[in-house]
Structure formats: C-alpha cells, structure tokens
Amino acid sequence: MHQTNKTGPPLPTQFAFVVQFAAETEVGQGRFVGRVEHVVSGHAQRFHTLEELLAWLTQMLTALCPPPEAVPDTPREQRRARRPSTKGGT
C-alpha cells in the first residue's frame, strides 16, 4: 500500500466524487454511461464512455490540486534555499 508524507486526512473531502451508472451501462461490452458529481462543489457531468468519465475526473482533480512546490534536488540547492536573502541591504 502506498504511503505519503502529506499532512491532512488520507481521504480529503475536496477529492470526493459520486459516480452513478445508468441502466444502459454494459460492463461486458465496455459501455459506461452515467453521471459524475464533485461532492463539495456540486459540479456534475454526464458521460457516455469511460474515457469521458476519466477525462472529467482528470480535469477536476487538476483544478483542485495545486502544483507541487519546487523542491531543491541537490544539497547545494537546499542550502541556498535556506540561506536568508542579502538583497535589499537593510
């Protein structure tokens, strides 16, 4: 099981979605039809293919997830990132 170092709940509410499949869904045929809703915002979208469902979820999650902070790769960059700025001369 994948563990992360991030703080906060392991299943944050802002990442909760409800997926409802319509009666015409035929899993054996690869046909997925229904509606997906973001629980917090109420934004919803109908889908007619698995690709449409995944595309909408990807779009929503991309909008909800801030880009990761730039993490210095090398020890030298890490020291430079911690060093107080001497620019401005006060």
Question: Is residue 82 scored above 60 in pLDDT?
Answer: no
Assigned domain for 61 exists: yes
The structural domain count of the chain equals 1
Assigned domain for 78 exists: no
Rounded to a whole number of angstroms, the distance between the first and last alpha carbons of the chain is 50
Show the domain range for 60. Answer: 15-66
Assigned domain for 55 exists: yes
Find the mean pLDDT for residues 22-26. 98
Find the mean pLDDT for residues 64-89. 60
Assigned domain for 84 exists: no
Assigned domain for 1 exists: no
Q: How confident is the model at residue 55 (pLDDT cuts 50, 70, 90)?
A: very high
Question: Is residue 63 scored above 90 in pLDDT?
Answer: yes
Assigned domain for 50 exists: yes
Q: How confident is the model at residue 8 (pLDDT cuts 50, 70, 90)?
A: confident
Q: How many CA atoms lie within 13 A of 62 on its CB side?
A: 6
C-beta separation of 47 from 56 below 8 A: yes
Q: What is the pTM of this model?
A: 0.65
Assigned domain for 28 exists: yes
Which tokens hold the place of 71? 């993490």
Assigned domain for 75 exists: no
